Amino acid sequence: MDKPLDVRELLRSFYPVLILVAAVEVLLWVHWNSLVYMANMWDNDKYSHGYLVPLFAIGLMWWYRKDETTEIVKPVAIAGGVLVGFGLLLCGLPLVAWDLVLPLINTLGNTVLEAIGVGCAVAGAFLLLQPRLGSSDVPIRDRWIGFAILMGAEALRVFATLAYIDTLEAFTFIPALAGVFVMAGGLRVLRWSGWPIVFLVFMVPLPGPLDEQLSGRLQTMATRSSTFLLETAGMHAYHVGNNIFIGDATSPLQVEPACSGLRMLTIFGAISFAVALLCGRPLWQRLTILASWIPIALAVNVFRITLTGAIYAMIGGNHEQLQDIFHTLWGWVMMPMALGLMFVEFKILDNLFIEDDEDVAPPIAFSPPLSRQKAEKDGSSMGKKSGVAVKAKASLPPGGGTNGGGALKKPPRERTPN
Q: Compute the residue count for the chain.
A: 418
* Spatial CA neighbour of 87 closest among 117, 107, 56: 117
* Residues β-bridged to residue 244: 239, 253
The whole-number pLDDT of residue 255 equals 81
Distance CA 126, CA 281 (A): 29
The whole-number pLDDT of residue 139 equals 87
In whole angstroms, what separates CA 312 from the centre of its chain?
38
The whole-number pLDDT of residue 309 equals 82
CB-based burial label for 319 (10 Å; 0-12, 13-18, 19+): buried
The whole-number pLDDT of residue 378 equals 53
Domain boundaries, the chain: 210-352
pTM of the full structure: 0.75
Phi and psi for 240 in degrees, rounded to 5? -125, 105
Instruction: Say if CB 9 and CB 162 are below 8 A apart.
Output: no
Instruction: Say if CB 221 and CB 233 are below 8 A apart.
Output: no
Residue 195 has a CB neighbour count (10 Å cut-off) of: 19
Distance CA 32, CA 27 (A): 8
Distance CA 187, CA 179 (A): 10
The whole-number pLDDT of residue 392 equals 42
pLDDT in tens, the chain (418 residues): 445 556 677 777 778 888 899 999 999 999 999 999 998 888 887 888 888 899 899 888 888 776 555 577 888 889 899 999 999 988 888 877 777 878 877 777 778 888 899 999 999 999 888 887 766 678 899 999 999 999 999 999 999 999 999 999 999 999 999 999 999 888 888 888 899 999 999 999 988 888 888 888 898 898 999 889 988 888 888 888 888 888 776 677 778 777 778 888 888 899 999 999 888 888 888 999 999 999 999 999 888 888 888 877 777 655 566 666 666 677 678 888 899 999 999 888 888 876 655 444 544 444 444 444 445 545 554 444 444 444 444 444 444 444 444 444 455 555 555 4
Distance CA 194, CA 259 (A): 34
Between the alpha carbon of residue 147 and those of residues 30, 139, 183, 191, the distances in Å are 16, 13, 6, 18
Between the alpha carbon of residue 399 and those of residues 297, 375, 395, 406, the distances in Å are 71, 20, 11, 13
Residue 54 has a CB neighbour count (10 Å cut-off) of: 18
The whole-number pLDDT of residue 6 equals 65
The whole-number pLDDT of residue 5 equals 57
* Residues β-bridged to residue 403: 407
* Spatial CA neighbour of 160 closest among 170, 148, 151, 169: 169
Residue 180 has a CB neighbour count (10 Å cut-off) of: 23
Distance CA 218, CA 299 (A): 11
* Spatial CA neighbour of 150 closest among 297, 31, 326: 31
Q: Strands across the sheet with 243-246, in order?
A: 237-240, 243-246, 253-254
Instruction: Say if CB 226 and CB 255 are below 8 A apart.
Output: yes
Residue 219 has a CB neighbour count (10 Å cut-off) of: 21
Instruction: Say if CB 201 and CB 278 are below 8 A apart.
Output: no
Phi and psi for 315 in degrees, rounded to 5? -80, -45
Distance CA 58, CA 15 (A): 20
Instruction: Say if CB 143 and CB 135 are below 8 A apart.
Output: no
Phi and psi for 357 in degrees, rounded to 5? -80, 0
- In sequence order, which ranges of 233-319 are alpha helices (DSSP H)? 262-278, 283-291, 293-315
Instruction: Say if CB 303 and CB 337 are below 8 A apart.
Output: yes
